[in-house]
A = this chain, B = another copy of it.
């Protein structure tokens, strides 16, 4: 039922896996992606892992007529850029780099070098201000023993902080990207509950795509199915999330994903599946806006209690990470001290004959130099590691401090609700009662 108050908005998201010379069929896949985008003419296109700016510029040229507005977010040393293409003018862009993103010595995983961030662009759709976010979180390489979990939780925490604080003036908010989080993972719950963002997969009226909405599928030829174990068919880690405001309500009319293969092409667009959401924006009258807002506040107490639990869980996870980082820093320091002791010992042994004015050394010259080089290597490595772990400890402590503050504030707000009523009753406050809004500061 399209009327003058209704706007249709089509959003596209894909992790392009575009590492030049490393990703398979990189150039051909970019050409396919370009074709798809210029044919489909989505309003907003959000791409992740566009590692090279040259590829972005190539896409930009190709999409100049369909998507005249674009922005490229640079994040890490050698990657892992994110790109936005839009049919609506982009007025502003802002980037937030996550404080933690894996370890430089885990070079085979590459996340640290790629850098991870969240980019925001602000665009006007008609008279509505849309804040559109694109992000990519640290990958999960082993679900059973995920050493990156605290980093990903901190990233999810910073992501929700960034969205919450930068979107209070927005009429609508859209977030798309490869979150590397399963639907019920801690980071995902934290993000959705704190920001109020809704998942287009669970909210859509019509879905066309892989079973359970999975976006990393075993059938994809670029994927080693063993890496998906124990999820035989695949996992859902790419998302398009959205929320409206008092001025506009949003419904997801349909959501579709690619299903591995692409007709007339020998391989798919990427190792991830692409998402395409069809959103219906309905601008609200002032009264309808107030009703909408009130409806959202109805569950404020229940949501607050849930949020306290989630943030507490996240805090525990960060504390575990902090314990590990402190232990690693201690190990680095201890190894450094041992390297220094070894070097001093070697110098002392070398000094004895020199002091005694004897020309012959007690051990062979080659071994002497080799041991010296080894000691120096230990010293430099442990020094760099010590600095790195100190930064990790600081970032984890910083996130933990913010979480503590947030839990305290949430609990205080929760105490503001009438105590006599159980929480489930509080979800439907009595008429005339003003439920404490979830975010009074916004």
A405 near B90: Cβ-Cβ < 8 Å: yes
Q: Which of A13-21, A160-168, A270-278, A423-431 contacts B (4 or more CB under 8 A)?
A: A160-168
Tally of chain A residues near chain B (CB < 8 A): 46
Query: Which B residues are in CB contact (< 8 Å) with A161?
Result: 92, 94
Q: How far does the Cβ of A351 sit from chain B's closest Cβ, in whole Å?
A: 18
Q: Which of A4-12, A66-74, A280-288 contacts B (4 or more CB under 8 A)?
A: A66-74
Q: How far does the Cβ of A420 sit from chain B's closest Cβ, in whole Å?
A: 25
- Cβ-neighbour of A73 out of B77, B93, B122, B398 (below 8 A): B398
A369 within 8 A of B: yes
Which of A77, A165, A401 has the most chain B CB within a 10 Å cutoff? A165
Query: Which B residues are in CB contact (< 8 Å) with A409?
Result: 89-92
Which of A90, A92, A131, A391 has the most chain B CB within a 10 Å cutoff? A92
Query: Which B residues are in CB contact (< 8 Å) with A90?
Result: 405, 409
- The residues in A between 346 and 382 inclusive whose CB is less than 8 angstroms from any CB of B are 369
Chain A residues proximal to chain B, CB less than 8 Å: 71-74, 77-78, 89-97, 99, 120, 122, 124, 129, 131, 161-162, 165-166, 168-170, 369, 387, 390-391, 394-395, 397-398, 401-402, 405-406, 409, 412, 439-442
Can you pick out 16 interface pairs between chain A and chain B where the beta carbons lie within 8 Å of each other?
Answer: A74-B395, A74-B398, A91-B405, A91-B406, A91-B409, A92-B409, A92-B441, A93-B405, A94-B161, A97-B97, A120-B165, A129-B441, A131-B441, A168-B168, A169-B439, A169-B442
